[in-house]
Amino acid sequence: MKIQVKEVENNKDLEAFIKYPMNLYKNNPYYVPPIINDEKQSMSKEHNPIFREAEASYFLAYKGDQIVGRIAAIINWKEVKEQGKSKMRFGWFDTIDDIEVTKALLAKVAEIGKSHQLDYMEGPVGFSNLDKAGLLTKGFDKLATMVGLYNESYYMEHFEKLGFETSSEWTEFSLPAPKVLPEKVVKFNKIIQERYKLRELKFKKTKELLPFVDEMFDLLDKTYSSLETYVPIADYQIEHYKNKYIPFINPDYVNVIVDENNKMVAFAITMPSYSKALQKANGKLFPFGWYHLLKANRKNDSAAFYLIGVDPKLQGKGVTALIFSAMYETFKRNNIKYLETNPELVGNDNVQVLWKPYNPVNHKRRKTFRKDI
């Protein structure tokens, strides 16, 4: 049957675009659906300030009247013009196991890239570095997290057969929450605290945390700016993500380390695992989605790491051990038994050194794929 690729042109199409993977993975126990309204807002030029510097088109693939795939074609003009990366991005990619569907969807991305004289395309990625990225290449039988994409193994096979090559690669770990910290770690932490005159800040309420959010994003920029894939975060993006996500963060799961001048040198944001709650919510906060998320926030034995930043001046000097020890106290207070990291670029040893003393298991990997156009 002939494959037709049509651009999303109205709200009905957009709803179908967002819900497509929810239908594709309806009976898959590892897929975690997003909140539908959140997806709509992130794709809205009115609500997402990323569109000040980016543009996107969304496409659905059809066989007859049945949707068989989707893709977003994205250009981040800040990346193209300021960083000199002649890149056509693509994301929100999902398809049935038919390489011809994949080929047809990617052809649309290439077509747009050529029309703007761009040199190559890469994905799956989002509008910016704060969006989900990376095709799952290991861990198809593991529950997805709120910040990770999920897909079947045939996606990777399609890209490889179509001549795409690996661009970036991430790794993820699972590990048991330590029941006690080794005595040598406790002694080492005390030495580091005294040597660099560091201390931990603790938060009980979200309003106590808000004054530090801008500093967190600044530290995030410093931490990852040396990585090839990183695109600096604009101030208006910070404001957007602050308003969107901070109200949902449990302040007890935010750990901040400051120096003697109260300047932030490290931070970590972890959260109770919302994966099972999001599965129960099935894309909707109402009428019962809020209840499942609230329950997961209050009572949970699993936690996931989301953001970690360490001042480059103190990387490799033991501050990572200090921030993990602060997180350990959080996990202990909240009866957390199991931990899962967020995707970390392979070779990013400054972050991965956090987990090494605690027997981590590399349970997931993911990649972006690129091809000249």
- Peptide bond before 287: cis, by omega within 30 degrees of 0? yes
Please state, in angstroms and rounded to a whole number, the distance separating the CA atoms of residues 34 and 265.
32
Fold that domain 3-169 belongs to in CATH: Aminopeptidase (3.40.630)
**C-beta atoms surrounding 232 within 10 Å:** 15
Contact 40, 14 (CB under 8 A): yes
With a cut of 70, list the residues of the chain below it in pLDDT: 226-230
* Domain locations in the chain as residue ranges: 3-169, 175-363
CA distance 73 to 41: 17
Q: Given this model, what pLDDT does residue 124 score?
A: 98
Residue 97: the pLDDT is 98
What pLDDT, on a 0 to 100 scale, did the predictor assign at position 87? 97
Q: How far is CA 182 from CA 179, 288, 317, 357, in A?
A: 10, 42, 18, 10
- Does the global pTM surpass 0.85? yes
Q: What is the pLDDT of residue 298?
A: 86
Give the model confidence (pLDDT) of 88-124 as tens digits: 999 999 999 999 999 999 999 999 999 999 999 999 9
Cα(87)–Cα(102) distance, integer angstroms: 19
Cα angle 224, 213, 364; round to 5: 45
| Amino acid identity for residue 44 in this structure | S
CATH class belonging to 175-363:
alpha beta
Does the fold of domain 175-363 match that of domain 3-169?
yes
CA atoms within 13 Å, Cβ hemisphere of 129: 20
* Number of Cα atoms under 13 Å in the Cβ half of residue 117: 2
Residue 44 has what pLDDT?
94
Number of neighbours of residue 14 by Cβ within 10 angstroms: 17
Helix (H) or strand (E) run with residue 292 in it:
helix 289-298
